[in-house]
Every structure is written in C-alpha cells, then in structure tokens.
Amino acid sequence: MSLYEVPITTIKGIGEKKALLFKKLGVTSVGDLISFYPRAYDNWADVTPIAEVTHGERVVIRARLAAAVSTTRISGGRLLSKATVCDDSGYMNLVFFNNRYIDSMLRYGEEYCFMGKVQREKYGYQMLSPEFASPKTGDDITPVYNLTAGLNNRVVMKAVKEALSMLPQVINDPLPYDILRRYDLCPLSFALQNIHFPADISAMEKARRRLVFEELLVLNLGMRLMKSRSREQTSITMPADYSGEFIKTLPFELTGAQKRAVVDCVNDMKNKTSPMNRLIQGDVGSGKTAVCAAVCYNCVKNGYQAAFMAPTEILAQQHFETFSKMFDGTGITIELLTGSMTPANKRKARERIEAGESDIVIGTHTLVSESTVFRQLGCAITDEQHRFGVAQRARLAAKGEHPHILVLSATPIPRTLGLIIYGDLDITVIDELPPGRTEVQTLYIQSDKRDRALEFIRKQVDEGRQAYIVCPLVEEGDDAEMQNANDYAAELMLGVFHNYPVGILHGKMKAKDKEAVMAQFSNNELSILVSTTVVEVGVDVKNATVMMIENAERFGLSTLHQLRGRVGRGEYKSYCILVSDHSGDNTEQRLSTMCRTNNGFEIADMDLKLRGPGDFFGNRQHGLPQLAIADFSDTQTLAQSQEAAEYLLGVSPDLTHDATRALRAEVRRLFSTTGEALN
Ligand code: ADP
Ligand code: MG
C-alpha cells in the first residue's frame, strides 16, 4: 500500500485535532508528510558572537547561562521567564512565555545554542522565545517548515521523522536507473532523508537537486501527455486562403508582424493532418485582435464555425463589438455568449450555434460548458490565455472534431517558463507595434507629489482626454497605507475632480454594472475611472492617456506592464504614473525598470530575476499543479528534465513501459489536484 493512503493519524502523537491542523497545510497522509519539504533550514553551526548581532536579525548564539532562570507570574496567570546568557563577547537577555519547564531545561552555568530573532532594548539585546539545543546534539542543520497556528516547528519535525521511519527498507524509485546515472542524481531514499534532516549542506543540495529534477520531470511528462492528446489527427482542412480579401477591408494596413502571424495560422490550417496548435505572443496593443479576425474570416469562408473565448465579460463584449463592426457587410454572423445573459437568451444563442446559424461565436468560459454544441467548429481561439487553465483550453478543443487551436497571450513569459506551459505549441511573436504609437512615458513618484500628479491629470482631462487610477483594494482594508478605490473616488469627487464625472470599477461589482461603467468610460461619459486591476485585461479606450497606479509596489512588473498597456493606444501622448512610498523588496529597482523600458519581454525577465517565478505561477489559475519543491529559476535542472522527458516518451510514449510505470503514477498524482484526468 502506498504511504499516500496511510492517514497521518497513524503517526504517534497525531490525533484528530492535530490532523486537522496538518490538513490546513495540505498534509493528510504519511506520504504527504514525507513530501512536505522544509521551507528553509536553520544552521546551528553558523554562530554569531553576541557583540555582533543586529536588531531584527535571526541568529544563532552559543552562550552560557549567567544566572538561573527567573520566572514570574504576569497578568492572566501567564508565566514570564527571563534568563541572562553570555559568551566571550557580551551578554543577552532571553524571554520565554508560559513555559513551565524552562527552568529545568536551561541550567545555570551550562552552555547552549539559542536561535531566534534579536531585538534591541534599553541595555542591549534580547531574544523572544528562542529555540535552543545543547551544543553537543550534532544536528547542525535543522528543517524549517511552513506552519499554521497551533502547529510549531518541533511538532512537524517529530512527525516527519516518524513518517520517514515508516518508509520501507527498499524504496521503489520512480526514476529509472539510467536517468539517475545520466544526470548524476542520488537515490530516492537518500534524498528523502537528507531533504528533511541533512547530514550537511552538500547532502541537502544533492537531495534537493534530485527532488526538483523529479518533480520537474513529472510536470514535463504530464504537460506533454496532455498535449499529445490535442495533437491528434484532424479532418478539418481549409484549403483556400481568404485572409487577403478580409485584410483589404480593414481601416488600417497590417504591420509586417501581423501579416506573418496571419500567414502562420492560415498555413497551419491548410492541409495538415494535425490541427493548428499555435500561440501568438504579442505585447499589449500589438494588434492581436485583427489577426484573429482574419483567422476567423478564413475559417468561416472555408465552411466552418469559429469560437473566440475571452477571460472576462467586459472583454468578450468588447470583442463582440469590434468584430460586429469589422464583419459588417460580409454576411458573416457574430454571436455573443456570456454567463450574464438571461437563460432564455443563452438558450437561443446556443440553438443558433448548434444549427450552424452563428458563424463566429464570442464568449466567456460559458462557451466551454457542456450545453454549448457547435455544428462544425473549425477553430477555437482563446484570448489572454494566461487567465485560463490548461484544462479549460483542452475542453474548448474537445468541442469539435479536433478543431484548430489558437492561443493569444499578451504576457511575455521568459523562455524557460514558456517551454513548460506552452510545451509544444508553435509560437508566433508579434514583435512590432502599429505605426504612430509613441512609448508611454512612465514616472515613479512618492505620495507627496500626488497632488501635482492629480493636477496634471486634470489638465489632460481639460484637453478632452481620460485617465485611469488604479488602487490595490476595493474598500478600506487593515493596512492604512493601502489605497482603496471607493474612498479614493469619493475623495476625488469631493476634491480636485468635483466638477468632473468620476466612475468606479472593481471586481466585486455585478457583471452588468461593470459593463455599464466600462461602456460609459469608453463613450467618454466618464473622465476618470478609479479601478482595481480589473481594467488590466484587454479593454481598449484610445482616448485614455494617463494611468496612475497607487501602491505600485504591490503589483508584479508584468501586471504593471499590462495595466500600462491600457493607455497609449491612440494618437495621443500617454503617461503612466507609479506612486509608491515603499522602499525595500527591490521596489526602487523594479519601478525604475518600468520607467526605463516599454518592452514586455525585458520586463518579464526582470520580474523573474527580482521576484522569482511566483508572479507567473503564483496562483492556480494557470492550471498548473501545485509543486512541492521545484521552482523554475533553476534553468539547468529545468532543461535537463525537459531532455529526460523527451527521452522517456521516446522510449514509451504513454509511459506504460515497466521502467516508467512508476513515473506514470507520479504524473497522475501531481495532476490530480488540477482536476485534469490523465488516464
Ligand atoms: P492587443 O494585441 O493588445 O489585443 P488590439 O488588437 O486590441 O491589441 O489592438 C490595439 C489597437 O490597435 C486597436 O484599437 C486596433 O484597432 C489597433 N490596430 C491594430 N492593428 C493595427 C494596425 N496595423 N495599424 C493601426 N492600428 C492597428
Ligand atoms: Mg487584446
């Protein structure tokens, strides 16, 4: 039986109550516990002399008790224990709360190692509730786990130790022997032992590399298996190329990059046995919509329907309007299908879709629900794909007889990460903006300059332009430093902008209300739109020339870049004003990057460097499974795991070979959290 099927309560000291706490950490079985890897390590050998500690730092000191522990009772009957310790360089006070046993654990005159955060106080430094150990215990490096209220590190450590002891003598290693050898990886049993309780730093690093490799390999295999399904044969071919006659009707000349993108898609759909599987990556404003329209036109003229899925109602609505205008007079019918439509209207739309009366269907994820049936879906397009899970994309693909798939993304993703999420998608990059665009000028200011910035916005509005102001919160939160859209808008309406129409937009509003506000803004009935990041995606108001972002430090660079893309879409010179009083966490470096460049790829790379991949993979929307140990910053291991995945699938395309069957089980387990059935 797998340890993933053994409940955690079989471990000594873990009853129902503790099990519930562990559950909060995602740990329910003994197997989970074993793969609950430490978040960090404490190195008890790394001792700092007391004279050299600094305020706020977490350190280890090695010191002797200079006096016996003294305990007093304080309010609420709680116990407060104090001790003074010293080493050759100085003295420090230790404070413990409510620990009845502390005076028997720490003896006068004896030496211990103490670890904790130091604080400066009147006469020197103190440590609050430090952990401690005898200098002789030998375990220099101890694991630090993610915790939850009620569970301390010591309890988790003990439980993990116990769980490790339940591993069988001989562990079945899912990595085939030749992979271990080729990439110089340690065996699983060594890895599990040393990731939790490393003998030394180099053992920990070995263990880590092996586990990261394995996890990335399993992720790679899963993504590839999932994609190979969408690489099935298709009978949908579109032999004739009608895109030229459509492009002629557009009010502008396509850029070279747009033309190349159309050609790529048309060729993909021409006479191939496998369906198109293409990603178009183009910075905000690069004109992806027109490319899609040409692809849809070509699809319809070849006798099929096309579907275009957007991540939000607002965006679906906007695409619907854009398409309706572009296709006016072509005889092609455009259908809108979104979640907020009345059931009756939805039903009617679906009937038309099923009957084949709608040629191009634009919608939200409602499009992929089971009750939508296409008569002859030839091509499915998803916009701003990073908002869709991989699974949703697959579901849209399953709507027809292997339709052609086109994915649009405005989020430039560093290449190493792109290889994982996009795997074997063919990629077209639109690396050119339509002519006449000037770069958005970006300024980074502190809040003492806010009034001047608002004055600047007022001048723009007086010239007829419009502005966005983005706040991180909808309403007042715990953190008084954080701006919220409601109060901010109220202040503007009472202050500088009392004579101007100001609107509010945020995610807590009903879809209908959001749309109404967005419509007002795009009709220039509102001068200022105070909003949360819901404006991030795709909306297109050419008359808007200023984007001011409050608490700019709160947002990842990629988000800032997306937000900034809302302005500079028309003929007017545009501005982005980043407001932040925050220092630290690379804030200055990050925000200066925004001022320096408008290049999305450069920004994405910088974001990855400064903040790690969390920004790209931080939430589950991407449909990627939760990883236990790997991240994507280790590009070498990433590349190796990719190579190994390719090799293994070459040997056994569905991993049913004896040597890979255990890996197959791992793939299934990893992806079980995504709701994606990988059979
Ligand atoms: P995105 O790639 O961000 O989706 P859009 O497709 O919304 O960009 O295009 C942004 C704006 O640029 C739209 O208003 C569109 O009409 C306009 N546009 C697109 N292509 C061109 C072009 N070749 N020349 C001029 N304007 C264009
Ligand atoms: Mg777009």
Q: Is the pLDDT of residue 305 over 90?
A: yes
pLDDT (0 to 100) of residue 638: 82
Ligand 2 center to 318 CA (angstroms) = 10
Ligand 1 atom closest to 289 (CA)? 6
User: Higher confidence at residue 626 or residue 150?
Assistant: 150
**Model confidence over 279-301: pLDDT tens digits?**
898 887 889 999 999 999 999 99
Cα 630 to Cα 210: distance, rounded to the nearest angstrom: 10
pLDDT (0 to 100) of residue 135: 79
Ligand 1 atom closest to 291 (CA)? 6
Q: Is the pLDDT of residue 622 over 60?
A: no
Q: Is the pLDDT of residue 332 over 90?
A: yes
The CB of 290 under 6 Å from ligand 1? The reply is: yes
User: Higher confidence at residue 666 or residue 678?
Assistant: 666
**Model confidence over 352-390: pLDDT tens digits?**
999 999 999 999 878 877 788 999 999 999 886 555 556
The CB of 288 under 6 Å from ligand 1? The reply is: yes
Query: Which ligand has its closest atom nearest to the C-alpha of 251?
Result: 1
Q: Is 250 exposed, middle or buried (0-12, 13-18, 19+ CB in 10 A)?
A: middle
**Percent of the chain residues past pLDDT 90, beyond the cut:** 53
Which phi and psi angles does 638 have, rounded to 5°?
Answer: -60, -50
Ligand 2 center to 288 CA (angstroms) = 6
Q: Give the count of beta carbons closer than 10 Å to the beta carbon of residue 672.
A: 12
* 628 confidence band (pLDDT: 50, 70, 90): confident
Q: Which residue's CA is the closest to the ligand 1 atom numbered 5?
A: 287
**Ligand 1 binding pocket mutation candidate from 248, 254, 286 (most atoms within 8 A of CB):** 286
* SS3 (DSSP) at 531: strand
Ligand 1 atom closest to 254 (CA)? 23
Residues measured by CB to lie within 5 Å of ligand 2, the ion: 538
**Model confidence over 125-158: pLDDT tens digits?**
999 989 888 876 666 888 999 888 888 888 999 9
In angstroms, the first-to-last Cα distance of the chain is 20
**Model confidence over 398-411: pLDDT tens digits?**
777 788 989 888 77
Cα 18 to Cα 666: distance, rounded to the nearest angstrom: 27
The CB of 606 under 6 Å from ligand 1? The reply is: no
Assigned token pair, 353: 């879709």
Q: Is the pLDDT of residue 612 over 80?
A: no
Strands (E), 325-376: 334-337, 360-363
Average pLDDT, the chain: 87
Q: Is the pLDDT of residue 522 over 80?
A: yes
What integer is the mean pLDDT of 335-350?
Answer: 93
Closest among 52, 58, 55, 53 to 120, alpha carbons compared: 55
Closest among 261, 538, 217, 509 to 406, alpha carbons compared: 261
pLDDT (0 to 100) of residue 623: 55
Ligand 2 center to 388 CA (angstroms) = 15
Angle between helices 600-611 and 557-564 (to 10 degrees): 150
The CB of 289 under 6 Å from ligand 1? The reply is: yes
Assigned token pair, 292: 């899609």
The CB of 365 under 6 Å from ligand 1? The reply is: no
Ligand 2 center to 292 CA (angstroms) = 10
Assigned token pair, 209: 């590399």
The CB of 286 under 6 Å from ligand 1? The reply is: yes
- Residue pair 247/276 in contact (Cβ under 8 Å)? The answer is no
Q: Which of 84-98, 202-216, 631-645 has the lowest mean pLDDT?
A: 631-645
Q: Is the pLDDT of residue 318 over 90?
A: no
Task: Give residue 423's region: left, alpha or beta (phi > 0; psi -120 to 50).
Answer: left
One-letter amino acid for residue 24 of the chain: K
Q: Which residue's CA is the closest to the ligand 1 atom numbered 26?
A: 434
What integer is the mean pLDDT of 255-272?
Answer: 93
The single-letter DSSP state of residue 338 is: -
Assigned token pair, 659: 């040597």
Ligand 1 center to 377 CA (angstroms) = 26
**Ligand 1 binding pocket mutation candidate from 250, 279, 286, 289 (most atoms within 8 A of CB):** 289
The CB of 282 under 6 Å from ligand 1? The reply is: yes
* 92 confidence band (pLDDT: 50, 70, 90): very high
Q: Give the count of beta carbons closer than 10 Å to the beta carbon of residue 238.
A: 25
Tokens 């723009």 -> residue: 460
pLDDT (0 to 100) of residue 538: 53
Ligand 1 atom closest to 255 (CA)? 23
* 423 confidence band (pLDDT: 50, 70, 90): low
* 591 confidence band (pLDDT: 50, 70, 90): very high
Q: Which residue's CA is the closest to the ligand 1 atom numbered 17?
A: 287
- Residue pair 302/243 in contact (Cβ under 8 Å)? The answer is no
Tokens 């275009």 -> residue: 308
- Residue pair 71/81 in contact (Cβ under 8 Å)? The answer is yes
Cα 310 to Cα 387: distance, rounded to the nearest angstrom: 9
Q: Give the count of beta carbons closer than 10 Å to the beta carbon of residue 171.
A: 14
User: Higher confidence at residue 358 or residue 606?
Assistant: 358
Cα 143 to Cα 38: distance, rounded to the nearest angstrom: 5
| Residues linked to residue 473 through DSSP beta bridges, in sequence order | 484
Cα 456 to Cα 493: distance, rounded to the nearest angstrom: 16
Ligand 1 atom closest to 383 (CA)? 4
Cα 672 to Cα 679: distance, rounded to the nearest angstrom: 11
Q: Is the pLDDT of residue 663 over 70?
A: yes
Q: Is the pLDDT of residue 256 over 70?
A: yes
**Max mean pLDDT range (402-406, 494-498, 665-669):** 494-498
Ligand 1 center to 291 CA (angstroms) = 9
**Ligand 1 binding pocket mutation candidate from 252, 253, 406, 537 (most atoms within 8 A of CB):** 252
The CB of 284 under 6 Å from ligand 1? The reply is: yes
* SS3 (DSSP) at 308: strand
| pTM for the whole structure | 0.63
Task: Give residue 516's region: left, alpha or beta (phi > 0; psi -120 to 50).
Answer: alpha
Ligand 1 atom closest to 288 (CA)? 2
Q: Give the count of beta carbons closer than 10 Å to the beta carbon of residue 595.
A: 13
Domains of the chain in start order, with CATH, are 1-39+143-167 (1.10.150), 45-133 (2.40.50.140), 243-430 (3.40.50.300), 441-597 (3.40.50.300)
pLDDT (0 to 100) of residue 617: 47
User: Higher confidence at residue 400 or residue 344?
Assistant: 344
Cα 609 to Cα 677: distance, rounded to the nearest angstrom: 34
Query: Which ligand has its closest atom nearest to the C-alpha of 308?
Result: 2
Assigned token pair, 297: 């036109």
List the alpha helices (DSSP H) in 463-586. 485-494, 511-522, 557-564
Ligand 1 center to 258 CA (angstroms) = 10
**Ligand 1 binding pocket mutation candidate from 407, 428, 540, 562 (most atoms within 8 A of CB):** 540
